[in-house]
A and B are shown apart, each in its own frame.
Chain A
Amino acid sequence: MRFLFKTDYEDDIRLFPHSGYVVSYGLLFAVLLIAPYVLSSYLMSQLVFVCIYATVGVALLILTGFTGQASLGHAAFLAIGAYTAAYLQKYNVPFPVYFLAAGVLTGCIGALVGFPALRLQGIYLVIATISFAFIVEEILARWESVTNGNEGLRVKALSLLGVTVSRDSPTFYFLCLAVLVLTIVGTLNLLRSPTGRAFVAIRDSETAARSMGVNVALYKVKSFAISAAITGFAGVLFAHKLSFISPEMFTLQLSIEFIIVILIGGTFSLHGAVLGAIFIVMIDPFLTYLKDDMPGVIAGIAAAFGAGTVTAGNIQSKVAAFASLNGLKGAIYGVIIMLFVLFEPLGLYGRWLKIKLFFQLFPLYKRATFKRQKIYVKSERNR
């Protein structure tokens, strides 16, 4: 186990506490850089989605994880970013301009949502953000002159410095990766400066934050605005990746997916957003695989246990019918959330920390080490 001896105030400020971090993140970065020349186009596409979901995850972490304000409206912020991009693109606005415009506009709308949210807490805030999401969804469907209603909008391939960047090209992947990395670095900077600490203070005790001179209302609005703006940026990339957007893509289900990203990844660290994004993007092909192959496998098992061909075929068709039920995916998501909240409230990143600690302290690891945090997360979080 490594002991850090701090000899300078700089040691508390730097992003990489010791050289081990530089090496491991350097390696990760190198792998991400060569990925487009190694991985298949399908996996690359998934990786781009991981970048976009992780960016939204970081945005949601700022608001929910660090400021303690729950939101189920982030699909709406994503939609505003995406539609701003698609609309401005029609008037031949260059990419950097509409990219920034989408972020700024979404940020302003986020701040507007933040104001009524000042008086709401916990479940009431969740309801308020859900209703905001429904309002946006409805506006997108009805404001046909701008959004083209339910028929949706086609998004042209983005052109950067006069070069057309296709949505499957490595350049587009690098763009998404850059946005993600910049978002993470910016957020880390924020967290180690007064604003970030004020966010955490508001999460843990509004009374104490106020008595220390934190303008709670102002910082809540700031948190909403920053979170929304980042989601708006991600929305532009999302629109380009899909190349077609319509209102039914930005439903409550998407907002819930974003919540899953941070819940499963872990709400206390930015690592959680990335891990959660990988989880949510990879679970889709996994579920498809189960849907296609499970019926056959189960029938095979039944046959091995002595079921006749007719019975086995029967079982296969029943399982197949069950697997293609509507809303099964939502139910699976629900079960996943419940299991994580009950058994792993610190998320995948929390689990990774425990595994790391187990090896660092071997053979002295105590299960109780994380118990107190777990109780806290269970009882007091998101009152």
Chain B
Amino acid sequence: MSYFRAENLSLHFGGLKAVDAVSFAVEKGEILSIIGPNGAGKSSIFNLISRIYRPTSGRIFFEDQDITEQPPYDIAKLGIARTFQNIELFENATVLSNLLVGRHRHSSTQLWQELLFLPSVRANEKLHRRRVEQVIEFLDLEPYRDKLISGLPYGVRKVIELARALCSEPKLILLDEPSSGLNVEETDDMSFWIRDMKSELGVTVLMVEHDMSLVNRVSDRVIALNYGRVLAMGSPSEVQQHPDVVAAYLGA
């Protein structure tokens, strides 16, 4: 049984088939990239997994558990974290509190304990803070801890979003275009981090990406989509040479 599996996943908006009977599997510890032209349904698949959309039909399994009907907030509790294509950070809060929200799925304190800030809450806070610090160190975010998000440049925000997802100690992380809007150097950093996430933190990565050099560098396998359908699946070079994929990109 695969670690993560989508079976015949479909999302229809009226007559438009944004995602059409897509099936794929992610093995534990691999980096799988989804590529495809604009409007191919890549981000829609992510939104189906994190339950922002309800699938028209099809099922999603994670660790042999059917998660198709889980409410959105439970997806994160199961250990699936994500980033967004157009950064969704908590703008008017500091970097630290953004990252601490990432720890939300591990918080176990009750409201009345928090009102009194009992020693158990304090101990928990310190634990969360320590874990957040590990992520800060991992992604070199030390200069920004107490800065407000609204005052930070785009590239840094992108990394902070990744950091927030990592703070939840995910088993599976969904990266929606991690390199969009980043310059060459920042993209290089990102590719190293994605590989380190796999090797050091043991996170399984499912990624949507347009930058083919990044895809080639980090992916174990690639899926190519067009018009909501799977065109090809395999190693990065196999997929890039697949005649259907070439046709979809070049319009032959």
Contacts and interface: CB of A to CB of B under 8 A. Distances in A.
Interface of A: 9-10, 12-13, 186, 189-190, 192-198, 200-201, 203-205, 207-216, 222, 226, 268, 372-373, 376, 380
Nearest to A11: B129
Given A192-B117, A195-B111, A207-B52, A268 B104 contact: no
Contacts of B50: 211
B146 to A, nearest CB: 8
A213 B102 CA distance: 8
Contacts of A214: 73, 101, 104
Contacts of A13: 122, 125-126, 129
Residue among A10, A214, A216 having the largest count of chain B Cβ atoms under 10 Å: A214
Given A201-B101, A372-B150, A195 B88 contact: no
Contacts of A189: 114-117, 121
Contacts of B116: 186, 189
Interface string B79-119: 00110100011111100110011111101010100111100
Contacts of B93: 197, 200-201, 204
Contacts of B104: 194, 197-198, 201, 212-214
Contacts of B26: none
Given A186-B115, A193-B125, 4 more contacts: A9-B126, A200-B101, A205-B90, A209-B90
Contacts of B129: 9, 12-13
A203 B149 CA distance: 14
20 contacts: A9-B129, A10-B126, A13-B126, A193-B117, A193-B125, A197-B100, A197-B101, A198-B104, A200-B90, A200-B93, A203-B90, A203-B92, A205-B89, A211-B76, A212-B168, A213-B75, A213-B76, A213-B104, A373-B148, A376-B92
B115 A212 contact: no
B250 to A, nearest CB: 35
Given A189-B114, A197-B101, A204 B91 contact: yes
Contacts of A186: 115-116
B171 to A, nearest CB: 13
B151 interface: yes
A209 B101 contact: yes
Contacts of B92: 200, 203-204, 268, 373, 376
B42 interface: no
Given A193-B114, A193-B121, A193-B125, A376 B109 contact: no
Nearest to B93: A200
Contact of A216 (B73, B75, B111): B73
A6 to B, nearest CB: 9
Contacts, number: 122
B90 A201 contact: yes
B130 interface: yes
Nearest to A210: B72
B77 interface: yes
Contacts of A373: 92, 148, 150
Interface of B: 50, 52, 71-77, 81-82, 84, 88-93, 96-97, 100-105, 107, 109, 111, 114-117, 121-122, 125-126, 129-130, 133, 148, 150-151, 164, 168
B3 to A, nearest CB: 20
Interface of B is mostly: helix
Contact of B125 (A192, A200, A203): A192
Nearest to A225: B111
A207 B88 contact: yes
Contacts of A192: 117, 125
A200 B149 CA distance: 13
B203 to A, nearest CB: 16
A190 B72 CA distance: 24
Contacts of B75: 211, 213
A108 B122 CA distance: 28
Contacts of A222: 111
Nearest to B103: A194
B43 to A, nearest CB: 13
Nearest to B83: A211
B137 to A, nearest CB: 14
A82 B50 CA distance: 45
Contacts of B126: 9-10, 13
A308 B107 CA distance: 76
Given A211-B72, A212-B168, A194 B90 contact: no
Given A197-B100, A211-B82, A190 B114 contact: yes
B114 A194 contact: yes
B252 to A, nearest CB: 38
A212 B102 contact: yes
A212 B150 CA distance: 20
A196 B121 CA distance: 13
A212 B101 contact: yes
B168 to A, nearest CB: 6
A226 to B, nearest CB: 8
Contacts of B117: 189, 192-193
A197 B107 CA distance: 11
B141 to A, nearest CB: 15
Contacts of B97: 197, 200
Q: Which 4 A-B pairs have the closest CB atoms?
A: A213-B76, A194-B107, A204-B90, A208-B88
Residue among B71, B107, B115 having the largest count of chain A Cβ atoms under 10 Å: B115
Contacts of B105: 212-213
Contacts of B71: 215
B109 A193 contact: yes
A212 B125 contact: no
